[in-house]
Amino acid sequence: MGASYSTKEFYDFVEDTPLTADGSHLHRYKGLMQQFQEETNGFKDLKPQVFARWIDCYATHMKYKLTKHRNHEGRHFYLTPTQPAKL
């Protein structure tokens, strides 16, 4: 992930807080963004659109399929590996 798409702090965050990519684990943008802001300094003014773009870049970098949804509880997403798991 290039610096123009995200930050080192975000990369470190997803390394320390791996996002489950089994296609069935629901990730809430708002909850993840709040967790990221609590665990890092200097991101209190982070816009949700920027954080969502970072998630998009992360999914592309990890070769995950990103499936986005929205309902009465807010925006969320699922990650699914694009390559089958090796035994």
* Span 34-87, pLDDT tens digits: 999 998 877 888 999 999 999 999 999 999 999 999 999 899 999 999 876 555
Determine the average pLDDT of the residues in 4-19. Answer: 81
Please tell me the predicted confidence (pLDDT) of residue 84: 62
Q: How far apart are CA 11 and CA 34, in angstroms?
A: 16
49-53 CB contacts, 8 Å cutoff, 24+ apart: 53/5, 53/6
Compute how many other C-beta atoms are within 10 angstroms of the C-beta atom of residue 19: 17
